[in-house]
Amino acid sequence: MRCPFCGNDDTQVKDSRPHEDGAAIRRRRICGACGQRFTTIERVQLRDLVVIKADGRRVPFEREKLARSVRIALRKRPVDAERIERIVNGIVRRLEAMGETDIPSRDIGRLVMETLREIDSVAYIRFASVHWDFRDTKDFADILDTISASVSGEEGSDFAPDGAKDKD
**Most confident of the ranges 37-46, 113-122, 137-146, 157-166:** 113-122
Q: Do 18 and 69 share a domain, yes or no?
A: no
Q: What is the pLDDT of residues 31-83, one digit of tens each?
A: 999 999 999 988 776 668 999 999 999 999 999 999 999 999 999 999 999 89
Q: Do 37 and 69 share a domain, yes or no?
A: no
Q: Do 71 and 102 share a domain, yes or no?
A: yes
Strand order in the sheet with 11-19: 11-19, 24-31, 37-43
The whole-number pLDDT of residue 3 equals 94
Q: Do 76 and 103 share a domain, yes or no?
A: yes
Task: Give the mean model confidence (pLDDT) for residues 107-120.
Answer: 93
Q: Is residue 158 pLDDT above 60, yes or no?
A: no
Task: Give the mean model confidence (pLDDT) for residues 138-153.
Answer: 78
pTM over 0.75: no
Q: Is residue 160, in this structure, part of any structural domain at all?
A: no
Q: Is residue 142, in this structure, part of any structural domain at all?
A: no
Q: Is residue 106, in this structure, part of any structural domain at all?
A: yes
Q: Is residue 168 pLDDT above 90, yes or no?
A: no
Cα 20 to Cα 41: distance, rounded to the nearest angstrom: 10
Q: Do 121 and 71 share a domain, yes or no?
A: yes
Q: Tell me the pLDDT band of 161, cut-offs 50, 70 and 90.
A: low
Q: How does the average pLDDT of the chain come out, rounded?
A: 86
Compute CA 111 distance to the chain's CA centroid, rounded to the nearest angstrom: 9
Count of domains observed in the chain: 2
Q: Do 35 and 58 share a domain, yes or no?
A: no
Domain that holds residue 26: 9-41
Q: Do 53 and 113 share a domain, yes or no?
A: yes
Q: Do 68 and 118 share a domain, yes or no?
A: yes
Compute the chain's Rg from CA coordinates.
20
Q: Is residue 147, in this structure, part of any structural domain at all?
A: no
Q: Is residue 154, in this structure, part of any structural domain at all?
A: no
